[in-house]
Amino acid sequence: MPAAADVLNAKMIFPLSEPQWSAWCSAFYESPQNRLAQNVCTARDPINVCLRPEADLCSTVSGDKTWHEVDTQGKGTTGGPGWICTGLDVLRQGMDRKLPLPADFELSAAHLFFWHKLERCNYFLWTTADLLMQCEPLDGRCFRHFMKSAVPDGGNWQMFVNLVKKYGVMPKKCYLSNQRTRRMNIMLRSKLREYASMLHAQFTFDGDGHSLPRLIQEMIPNLFNVVSICLGEPPEVFTWTFYDHKKRYQSLNNLTSMHFYEVMVACTVDLDAFVCLGHDPRLSSTPQRNYQVTHSSNMMGGESHKYNSQSMETIVQVIVDSLVGNKPVWLGCDLRSVFCSKTGPLSLQSHRFALMFGFEVGDSLSKAERLLYKESRRDSAVLLTSVGLDSKARPVEFRTISASANGQSESTGTLNKADETEENTENEEGKLKKSAKSTGIAMDADWLREYGFEIVVHERFVPPGVLHASRMPKTTQLPAWDPMGALLK
C-alpha cells in the first residue's frame, strides 16, 4: 500500500495540459461579455477601463461635510524624494507667519538629499563592519538585505530629522541640483559592494576587526567624490536674495544652513515635539508598544526608524484633532499597490472589476494579510492638510497639500524612480504621482484606514496615555526587511 505522503504528492501534481486549456478557451469564447472585455482590454489599460465614472465615484463621498483646512504657506516642496519634500513641508508650515517670506518660498530638498547620500554611504560601511564582527553570515538574510538596499533614495521620518539636526536647511534657490541619481546610484552600489568585499577579506585575514576603521576612512573620500561630481556640493556659506510678500527686495549675506535653520525654523518648530505613531494590524504587533527597525538609519549615531503601535481608530482621531487644530500631519501610506486613477479621491470602491472579469480584484485580503503576503507596505509620504467631517463629526475625506504628494517635479522625475534593487513601480502608479504633483490627493477615510500605516504629528494632539507610551525607552526590534520598515519614496 502506498504511503500517505506519496498519495498526497500524487494528488498535488496538476500540470496544465492541452485538453484543459482547450476546454477553458471554448468556455471563454462562448460568452459575448468575455469577447467584448478582451477587445476592450487589449486596446486599453485593463485597470483604467474598470474605473467607475468620476461623478459616480465622487458621489460615494458626497453629502454635507464640514471642512477643516490647515492655513498652509505656499504649495508643496519639489525637487527631491517625497519623504524629504514632505518633511520640509512640515517645517515650512510651522515657520513663523510673521517672517517676510516670498510667496513661492521653498526649502531645498536637494541640499538634504546630498547629505543623505553621503551619510548613507558611511552608514553602510560601518554597519557592514559591525555585521562582520557579529559573525553575520554573508548568505544570511540580514546581510543579503543590507547589500540589496545599499544606498537607496528612500527614507523615513527619523532619517529626515537626522539630516536637519546635523546639516540644517537652506532656501531652494541657494542650491539647485539636477538630482539625476539613477546612474550615480549604480556607481555607488557597485563601489560599496566592492568595499564590503574588501572589509570581509580584511576581517577574515586578521581574525578581528581592528583594521576595519582604517580601511573605511580610506574609502569614504572616494564616495564623497562620486556624490559631489554627480550632484554638486552644497555651499557652506550662501547669500539669499529675494522679494518678500510685499515685493520688497531683501538680501541676507554670509548664511550657513545651520544658522538659517536655527534662526528661521527651530525657533518655532521643535522636531523633538513630534510623535511617530504606526498601525500594524498583524497579530505579531502589540498596541501601545514601541517598535524599532534595525539598520533603518542613514547616519552613524542617528535615530533609527521607531514608532508606537496604535489602533487605526486612535490614529484617525489624532489626525482629525491635529487638522482641526490647524496643524498638518505627515502620513506614511501605500500609493504603490492600490488601484487608483488620476482623477477623483482614493477610494476602496474606485473600480468595478467584476463587470469586466467576473470577479473582484484587490479587496479580498485584510490589511494584515496584505502585509503578510507582500501585497501592501508603507511606500509614500504625503502631508495631510484638510479633513471633511460629516454631520456626526466623523471623518469622511482627507486631502493633501498641492504639489507635495510625492515630491516630484518635471526636472526631478528620475529621482523618484524605483531603485534598481527594489521592486519596479507600474506606469499607472507613476501617472498618479505626477498628477498629484499639482493638484494634491483626496482620499476617503476608509481608504486611509486600509492603506495608511504611519503618522507623524505634534505631541499636543496625542492623548496623554499614547504620548506616555511613545516616550517609554523600551522597544521591540523588527528586522530590516519588515514591511513596517519599508523606505518611503
Mean pLDDT of each 10-residue bin along the chain, 489 residues long = 58 79 89 88 85 67 78 86 94 84 88 96 96 91 91 94 97 83 92 96 90 95 95 93 82 93 93 96 94 94 95 96 95 78 74 84 88 90 93 91 49 36 41 49 92 96 96 94 92
pLDDT of amino acid 477: 95
**Domain positions in the chain:** 66-485
Q: Which three cell numbers stand for residue 246?
A: 510685499
Beta bridge partners of 454: 278, 332
pLDDT of amino acid 122: 96
Beta bridge partners of 397: 388, 444
Q: Angle, to 10 degrees, between the axis of helix 212-231 and the axis of helix 182-206?
A: 170
Query: Is-contact 190 222, C-beta < 8 A?
Result: no
Using DSSP, state whether 67 is helix, strand or coil. strand
Collect all residues with Cβ–Cβ distance below 8 Å to 314 and sequence separation of at least 6.
277, 463, 466
Collect all residues with Cβ–Cβ distance below 8 Å to 70 and sequence separation of at least 6.
93, 323, 326, 327, 328, 385, 386
pLDDT of amino acid 435: 41
Question: What is the CB neighbour count within 10 angstroms for residue 382?
Answer: 31
What distance in Å separates the CA atoms of residue 7 and residue 425, rounded to the nearest whole number? 42
Kindly write down the DSSP assignment for every residue of 332-361, as one continuous string: EE--SSS---SSS-B-TTSB-HHHHHSS--
Residue type, 236: E
Run of H or E residues at 44 = none
DSSP H helical ranges for 13-108: 18-29, 32-43, 54-59, 82-94
Using DSSP, state whether 310 is helix, strand or coil. coil
CATH of domain 66-485: 3.90.70.10
pLDDT of amino acid 373: 92
Residue type, 64: D
Q: Report how far apart the first and last C-alpha atoms of the chain are (Å, whole number).
A: 58
Collect all residues with Cβ–Cβ distance below 8 Å to 125 and sequence separation of at least 6.
192, 195, 196, 199, 216, 219, 220
Whole-number Cα distances in Å, 154 to 121, 128, 202, 379, 437: 13, 19, 31, 9, 18
What distance in Å separates the CA atoms of residue 3 and residue 179, rounded to the nearest whole number? 63
Collect all residues with Cβ–Cβ distance below 8 Å to 444 and sequence separation of at least 6.
60, 61, 345, 346, 347, 348, 396, 397
Kindly write down the DSSP assignment for every residue of 206-221, as one continuous string: HSSSTTHHHHHHHHHH
Beta bridge partners of 351: 51
Query: Is-contact 444 347, C-beta < 8 A?
Result: yes
The closest alpha carbon to 364, from 386, 348, 378, 379, belongs to: 348
pLDDT of amino acid 230: 92
What global pTM score does this model have? 0.87
